[in-house]
Each structure stands twice: as structure tokens, then as C-alpha cells.
Amino acid sequence: MSSVILRNVVNQFGSVTAVDNLSIQIQDREFAVLVGSSGCGKTTALRMIAGLESVSSGEILIGDTRVNDMAPKDRDIAMVFQNYALYPHMNVRDNMGFGLKIRMISKEEIDTRVEEAADILGIQALLDRKPKELSGGQRQRVAVGRAIVRKPKVFLFDEPLSNLDAKLRVAMRAEISKLHRRLGATIIYVTHDQVEAMTMADRIFIMHNGALQQNGAPMEVYRHPVNSFVAGFIGSPSMNFIDATIVAEEGGMFIDTAGFRVRAPEAFLPQLEPYVGRPVVFGVRPEDMSLHDSATGSNNGNPISARADVVETLGSEIFVYLTCEAQTIVARMEVQDSPPAVGQMLEVDLKMSKTHIFDQ
């Protein structure tokens, strides 16, 4: 396996810059996920690593080798595509071994590698079937198996689960994560689904408009987003963003919005001092809100009042869509014995130490 390094990589289509000065370093045996909304440049970056897109400027290294001018077949990578790309007239065994066959590898070696990959993926019983006889999840396993038999330096996955139903996506996420641990492989995985990124990655690279916004371990990015785009992209439901002003009064600083005022935590004060009297964006995640318990006096005894407009019960939790004066916010709460009713006025606490304040 090998590390992958992109240094100041640019990809341009005429006047459109698809990838803009991208610099990332993926460690040997790391599971790295490039995540972002459609059109952010993540797939283009992956295809440049594979050699399927040209590099306008910058350089790409796989291991210690600069691969900018190398043909895809010489880069020692294996790619799993969104649409599987299986040969319909070949059975599973031949689909998995075809790439080795055209490299003139011996039949004995091909059979050995195919059997090993089939054992890893649990598809031994499918080796003599044609793709039309397989389910979507089985086809995905075959596509992954075709990559495994190559024994490449780097595995590239381009949104491989997007064609599967929700239940199967969850199962395949776990399968690919187990596969990574078993192979000790370097994997670069592209997705638009932040849940896939959070659950699978050793490190997430978040992209927007062709540029890298932040990278780090999943929980590091979740807890310490560098800007409002990252904060809004990571987490489901998305973080609530509320226009606010920082107000300094005797006894502390307050975050003043059109619908409520809350006290800023002591730990925030040094960073907030330059913003006194200035507009900011106040961010609070839905899971950092809870119904006020007057017995505990939480939130410094300063809960916000809001009306429940929509209540979605999901079994283990509920989503409550709240209106507080001019503000609309979403809260993710534990299920109560009697969930809030639509139209009910609620007292809601914010876990202020976990909130965020962004420069507009």
C-alpha cells in the first residue's frame, strides 16, 4: 500500500475551475473520505488520482512516484465505480479475474486470487452466476472483489453505495469498513453523504466549490468546524444558524437574536471581545437542545421559549421544528413519555458550551 499526495492540484475545463489548488496528504493504509455536495470537485479529484482526468497544474504522488504523466494502467490503483460496470456476458468469476487475464497473469494465480477475494466478501456461491442473476448488493461485492484481486497500492471508491436502498447501504458501509481493516489498504472514498463519511472515515476531507474547506478525524470536524459551511454540512439534521449580535453588559456577554437572548459561556469571552456590538452567526446543533427542566436550573436558568410547529416521532428520538419569534429552528430530542404537541409552547435549553459563533 502507499500514501497519496496532491500538491496544489488544479483542474480546469475551459473557464471553469473544477478543482482549485487542492493540497491533501493521505497516509499509507488510511481510509480517507472526500465529501461534499454535487459539483464540489470531489469526483474530479478522485479521477485525477486515477489518471482519468488531466492535471492542469500541481502534482500527484502515489508513494514516492509522481504520476501526473503516467497512464491509468501504470499507477497500480483499482477503482470501484458507482454503476459497477460488470460485463453482462461473463460470470462472476470471469468478471473478477478479467483484469488479471489481460495482464497475462497465469490462470492458477487468477483462480487463487479470485477465490481469496470471494472468501473475503462472502460470495463463493455466486462465482458461476451472471450479473443479471445478482441483487444490487451482490453486484457491488463483485465490483469490490474485482478491485481486490488486483492487489493495488490504492483503492478508489466513487460513490459506490448510491444505487443501493437505505438498508443495504448501511450493511455495505459496515462491509467496506471491515474490508479496510482486513486488507490494511489505502482507500480514498468519494461520497456526497456525510453519514457515510462520518461512519467510515479515518479522516474526512470536506470540499466546496473545488476547494478544500477542512480535514480531520470525523469527530474533530464535527466538534470544531472551521466555518459555517463545514458546520452546516456535517451533522443531520443540519446545524441551526441564527443571525445575532454580541452584547456586553455588566456580568458577562450575551448572544442577542431577534427571538431570544442567551448568556455566552465564560470560555467564549476572549474570542468574543472583538465582536461586541457586531453581527455574528450563532450556530446550535439540533442534538444540543433539550426540554428545560426547572428542577435542574440548566442553561444558567435562562431557557428560550418557542412554539412547536411540527413534531416528527422516529421511535428512539423526535425532531421538533420550533418557531421563536422570527426564528425557525430544529431540535433533536429524546422521546418523552408524552411528546410535545403541535402548537404547544415549550421552554428549551441550549447546551451553550457546544454552540458555535461564526464571523458573518
Residue 266 C-alpha cell reads as 465564560
Instruction: Kindly report the CATH number assigned to the domain that includes residue 294.
Output: 2.40.50.140
Domain membership of residue 281 as a residue range: 240-359
- pLDDT for residue 338: 77
Work out how many domains the chain is built from and give that number.
2
Domain co-membership, 217 together with 298? no
| Helix/strand/coil percent split, the chain, to 5 | 30, 35, 35
> Cα separation of 320 and 340, whole Å?
8
Last residue of a domain, one of 202, 233, 264: 233
> pLDDT by residue (tens digit) across 186-205?
999 999 999 999 999 999 99
Residue 300 C-alpha cell reads as 444558567
- pLDDT for residue 295: 60
**Mean pLDDT, rounded, of the chain:** 90
**Radius of gyration of the chain from its Cα atoms, rounded to whole angstroms:** 25
User: What's the whole-number mean pLDDT along residues 167-172?
Assistant: 84
User: What's the whole-number mean pLDDT along residues 295-305?
Assistant: 64
Residue 309 has pLDDT above 90, yes or no: yes
Residues 234 and 206: beta-carbon distance below 8 Å: yes
Last residue of a domain, one of 171, 206, 233: 233
Higher pLDDT, 239 or 169: 239
Residue 113 C-alpha cell reads as 486470487
Strands in 211-216's sheet, in edge-to-edge order, are: 77-80, 154-158, 186-191, 31-35, 203-208, 211-216
Write the secondary structure of 278-301 as one string of H (helix), E (strand) and C (coil).
CEEEEEECHHHEEECCCCCCCHHH
Report the percentage of the chain scoring pLDDT > 70: 97
Domain co-membership, 124 together with 160? yes
Domain co-membership, 253 together with 119? no
> pLDDT by residue (tens digit) across 28-58?
999 999 999 999 999 999 999 999 999 999 9
> Cα separation of 42 and 205, whole Å?
9
Domain co-membership, 197 together with 61? yes
pLDDT-derived band at 299 (thresholds 50, 70, 90) equals very low
- pLDDT for residue 277: 92
No. of helices (H) and no. of strands (E), the chain: 9, 20
- pLDDT for residue 1: 66
Count CB neighbours of 99 within 10 A.
16
Residue 140 has pLDDT above 60, yes or no: yes
Last residue of a domain, one of 180, 206, 233: 233
Instruction: Kindly report the CATH number assigned to the domain that includes residue 31.
Output: 3.40.50.300
Tell which residue, 26, 7, 107, has the closest CA to residue 67: 7
Residue 297 has pLDDT above 70, yes or no: no
Which range has highest mean pLDDT (120-134, 218-232, 320-334)?
Answer: 218-232
- pLDDT for residue 151: 87
User: What's the whole-number mean pLDDT along residues 156-165?
Assistant: 86
Domain co-membership, 99 together with 207? yes
Domain co-membership, 224 together with 246? no
User: What's the whole-number mean pLDDT along residues 267-283?
Assistant: 93
> Cα separation of 85 and 94, whole Å?
13
Domain co-membership, 223 together with 119? yes
Domain co-membership, 144 together with 270? no
Residue 61 has pLDDT above 60, yes or no: yes
> Cα separation of 26 and 49, whole Å?
12
Domain co-membership, 249 together with 116? no
Strands in 65-66's sheet, in edge-to-edge order, are: 16-26, 4-13, 57-62, 65-66
Domain co-membership, 265 together with 207? no
Domain co-membership, 259 together with 141? no
Q: What is the pTM of this model?
A: 0.88
The per-residue b/e assignment along 32-50, b for 16 or more CB within 10 angstroms, e otherwise, is bbbbbeeebbbbbbbbbbb
Q: What are phi and psi of 67, to 5 degrees?
A: -110, 5
How far from each other are the two terminal CA atoms of the chain, in whole angstroms? 43
Domain co-membership, 220 together with 343? no
Report the percentage of the chain scoring pLDDT > 90: 67
